[in-house]
Amino acid sequence: MKSTIQQLKARGWLTEEDLTKFQHHSVDQLLRLLDSKDPVERSASARLLPLNLLTTKNLLQAVAQEKKLYCRLEMMRKLETGDCETARLMLPYLGKIGNNQHLIPLSKPSVKNSFPLPRDLIARSLGNMSPTILPCLFEQLTILSLPALSELIDAIGMLLFYHPEEVSAWHFEQLQSLWDTTDCPLLRWKLIICFSALPQSKDFLETITVSNPVLYAEAQRSLGILSQRRLNNDCGQTN
């Protein structure tokens, strides 16, 4: 059943007409609206706030407690327009918003040919940001706690998957180094998925299919994606 306008607005859905009411608000006024009881006002605040150190911190605090779908989307979309400094402020929230994150590897690989959408809200938004934040993400590989690191791998994989022109041997070496220093089943499973974005991982994945029966199916999926992307790229070059 299709939602009514009233039901959508109760979840923070924002129209252009709604937005015009707040376009001349000051930054201080918009920041106060992040705590409004009206979901539409919270969405309008997120859409209109300029992104800087102060507003980023306030948006992250707001999204950590936000329950309404469209309010949360507006807040995350604004954060996704940020740079490395924005990403660094987002990193402490990895794995801490919501309870839908993977705690153990899935028994069956995804049947989709795309990169699995991260379940963690912050990881998903980091993965939607500019690839210029990649150095900021990679510098955290040896710093973050296990739950946050698990979500960081998803963010890195998503960014590299959708920005293949950014992928380098250095990225693979850093991720392989993490593999070599952990025996955590969840992290290793996430890394196998992440490797589907890195052509340099082909030989390594083939080794996994022979030596690791637990991760065989996921490694095969990553190899299949790499093969298909290489084929698509070759076809594109010949056309």
The encoded tokens of residue 4 equal 């009514």
Q: What is the dihedral of CA 212, 191, 227, 173, to 10 degrees?
A: -100
Q: Mark 20-58 as b/e (b = at least 16 C-beta within 10 Å).
A: eebeebeeeebbebbeeeebbbbbbbbbbbebeeebbeb
Q: What is the pLDDT of residues 144-177, one digit of tens each?
A: 999 999 999 999 999 999 999 999 999 999 999 9
- Residue ranges per domain, the chain? 5-79, 121-238
Q: What is the pLDDT of residues 67-100, one digit of tens each?
A: 999 999 999 999 999 999 999 999 999 999 999 9
- The number of beta carbons lying within 10 Å of the beta carbon of residue 200 is 17
Q: What is the pLDDT of residues 39-74, one digit of tens each?
A: 999 999 999 999 999 999 999 999 999 999 999 999
Cα separation, 32 vs 52, in Å, equals: 16
Q: Is the four-CA dihedral 207, 211, 213, 215 of positive or negative sign?
A: negative
Lowest mean pLDDT among 28-37, 48-57, 110-119, 165-174: 110-119
pTM: 0.94
Q: What is the pLDDT of residues 187-220, one digit of tens each?
A: 999 999 999 999 999 999 999 999 999 999 999 9
